[in-house]
Structure 1
Amino acid sequence: MVALQIRDVPEEVRDVLAAQAKACGKSLQGFLLELITEEARRVRNADVLARFARRNDGARGSDITADLAEARAERELQ
């Protein structure tokens, strides 16, 4: 594994993140690792969906992509 370092994080931001980590029963390092891992997964998923949407072989990629975006937006409103 590789180590990452973030400099110049405001104390208020660090405090909020530390409180979230504690509420989840995790260390700050574990909590942040989970956050960046999830973000990387989302980027990969978005890339796959974008490639699928560009297909021109008759697949309904753009409809599926739109359906997923709509379902996610509805879920976030709840």
Structure 2
Amino acid sequence: MSTAFTVRDVPDDIARAIKIRAAEAGQSLQGYLLGLILREASKPSLAEMAARAERYASDQVDHADVIAALDEGRRGR
């Protein structure tokens, strides 16, 4: 089942910009906005990211581990 959304009070300049972007992408306004909504909904929220970080966090990391990780990252540039 799908749900319809209505967005009210969109400023004219914003509506115009979105319509132009949809046209440039070769999409209908509905298709373009649906794509934006799908992309946004597929990203984790800040709360989800914090929970994930909490799960991966370890109190067994010391300063030498952090320095080694930084050095490795710098070598990869």
* Short-chain TM bin: 0.5 to 0.7
In angstroms, what is the RMSD of aligned CA positions? 2.6
Offset, 1:55: 1.9
Matched residue pairs, number?
59
Match of 2:8 in 1: 7
**Counterpart residue identity of residue 13, structure 2:** E
Identity of aligned residues (%): 36
The Cα shift of 1:50 comes to: 2.5
Report the counterpart of residue 28 of structure 2 in structure 1: 27
Give CA deviations for 1:1-45 in whole Å, capped at 9, x if unaligned: 000000011111111000000000000110001001101111359
Bigger helix share: 1
Q: What is the TM-score of this pair, normalised by structure 1?
A: 0.62
**What is residue 54 of structure 2 aligned with on the other side?**
54
After superposition, the Cα gap between the structure-2 partners of 1:56 and 1:38, relative to the gap in structure 1 and judged at 3 Å, is: closer
Task: Work out which of the two has the higher radius of gyration on C-alpha atoms and give 1 or 2.
Answer: 2
Structure 2-normalised TM-score? Answer: 0.63
**Structure 2: gaps spanning 5 or more residues:** 59-65, 67-77
